[in-house]
């Protein structure tokens, strides 16, 4: 992860295949994208989208995604946000913007003053999903 963070290339996606996963009887792959950083109380907090794909066979893989936060290169926690993103979250000023392809709403989450304990990602006018921040 340190190599990806050190490249500091916003929007650059890296694909990593865990070679030992086949020996263990399955498939494990990672899609990692650096989203950018936000200054929060003098700290440079870096945001990374990480999607893991796991399954017994290529056509049975399932996705699991997090938005992981780093202070420098040290992981401080993450939001588990379900399956794979069709459209990656974006950093705009001090906000994280999330829009799922199959949803009609865009969610803007402010990180101006702190890291929110919970984020609510809207999908429709009437609903969405609540995700909690898990600290390291």
| Continuous H helices in 12-124 | 20-23
The percent of residues above 90 in pLDDT, for the chain, comes to 48
Residue 48 has pLDDT above 80, yes or no: yes
Look over the chain and give the mean of its residue pLDDT values, rounded to a whole number.
86
In this structure, the number of other CB atoms found within 10 A of the CB of residue 21 comes to 14
pLDDT of residue 28: 87
Question: How open is the CA angle 28-3-66, to the nearest 5 degrees?
Answer: 45
End-to-end CA distance of the chain: 16
Q: Please give the distance of CA 114 from its chain centroid, rounded to a whole number.
A: 18
> pLDDT for 94-131, tens place per residue?
999 988 777 777 889 999 999 999 998 887 778 888 89
What whole-number distance in Å separates Cα of residue 66 and Cα of residue 79? 5
Annotated domain spans of the chain? 2-135
Residue 21 has pLDDT above 60, yes or no: no
**Which of 26, 82, 77, 21 is closest to 51 using CA atoms?**
82
């Amino acid at each position: 992860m340190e190599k990806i963070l050190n490249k500091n290339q916003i929007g650059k996606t890296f694909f990593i295949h865990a070679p030992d996963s086949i020996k263990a009887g399955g498939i494990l792959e990672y899609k990692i994208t650096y989203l950018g950083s936000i200054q929060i109380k003098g700290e440079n907090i870096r945001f990374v989208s990480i999607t893991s794909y796991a399954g017994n066979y290529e056509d049975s893989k399932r996705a699991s995604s997090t938005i992981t936060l780093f202070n420098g290169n040290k992981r401080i926690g993450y939001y588990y946000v379900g399956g794979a993103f069709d459209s990656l979250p974006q950093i705009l000023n001090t906000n994280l913007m999330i829009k799922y392809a199959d949803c009609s709403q865009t969610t803007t989450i402010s990180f101006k003053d702190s890291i929110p304990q919970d984020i609510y990602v809207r999908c429709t006018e009437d609903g969405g999903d609540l995700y909690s921040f898990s600290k390291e």
